[in-house]
């Protein structure tokens, strides 16, 4: 007897790719109301994310067409849920306490949770990333990031 196959569109990677394309497209529409220089980075990232998702979709559908079984998306669902929770927390904290403070906390926290334990390395990575963002966008391009509702009067 042959193994029963799930429908091609219900494969985990296909669902992930389709979901990412829909979410990226939904977030792309609000960038049209931004100033062109402000819309450049989020627009480019969203378009890039959608294009990579299309490649994932094509790759997974080719695998499905050749009869390859779909692999489980993860062997550690708690880690995936935790990563999702960290992303949501970062987005909310950016709105409430600001971009730089949230980023300075999120970078070492995410790296630590995913197994990088060197405290000097975490501090150095945080300084490099936050410093580069500041130098490129705030200083170089005169773009301001959210300062957070908590600090606004």
Per-residue pLDDT of 20-41, as tens digits, reads 999 999 999 988 888 887 788 7
pLDDT for res 2: 47
pLDDT for res 153: 61
**Selection from 72, 91, 66, 79 nearest residue 11 by Cα:** 72
Q: Are 61 and 112 in contact (CB under 8 A)?
A: no
Structure tokens at 51: 């294009």
For 53-81, how does the pLDDT look when each residue is reduced to its tens digit (9 = 90+)? 999 999 999 999 998 888 776 666 777 77
pLDDT for res 129: 92
Q: Which region, left, alpha or beta, applies to residue 116 given φ > 0 means left and ψ of -120 to 50 means alpha?
A: beta
Greater model confidence, 11 or 54: 54
pLDDT for res 73: 65
For 83-128, how does the pLDDT look when each residue is reduced to its tens digit (9 = 90+)? 788 888 988 998 899 889 999 999 999 888 878 899 999 999 999 9
Q: Are 53 and 24 in contact (CB under 8 A)?
A: yes
pLDDT for res 113: 81
For 39-52, how does the pLDDT look when each residue is reduced to its tens digit (9 = 90+)? 887 888 889 999 99
pLDDT for res 5: 57
Query: What distances in angstroms separate CA 92 from CA 104, 145, 148, 153, one per listed residue?
Result: 14, 14, 10, 19
Collapsing DSSP states into helix, strand and coil, what is residue 142?
Answer: coil
pLDDT for res 13: 86
pTM: 0.61
């Amino acid at each position: 007897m042959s193994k029963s196959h799930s429908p091609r569109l219900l494969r985990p990677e296909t669902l992930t790719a389709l979901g990412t394309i829909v979410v990226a497209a939904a977030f792309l529409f609000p960038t049209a109301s931004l100033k062109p220089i402000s819309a450049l980075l989020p627009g480019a990232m969203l378009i890039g994310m959608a294009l990579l998702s299309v490649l994932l979709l094509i790759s997974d559908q080719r695998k499905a067409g050749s009869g390859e079984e779909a692999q489980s998306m993860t062997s550690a669902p708690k880690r995936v849920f935790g990563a999702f929770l960290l992303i949501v927390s970062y987005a909310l904290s950016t709105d409430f306490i600001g971009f730089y403070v949230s980023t300075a906390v999120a970078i070492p926290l995410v790296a630590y949770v995913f197994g990088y334990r060197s405290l000097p390395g975490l501090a150095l990575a945080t300084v490099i990333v936050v410093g580069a963002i500041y130098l490129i966008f705030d200083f170089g391009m005169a773009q301001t990031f959210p300062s957070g509702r908590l600090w606004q009067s």
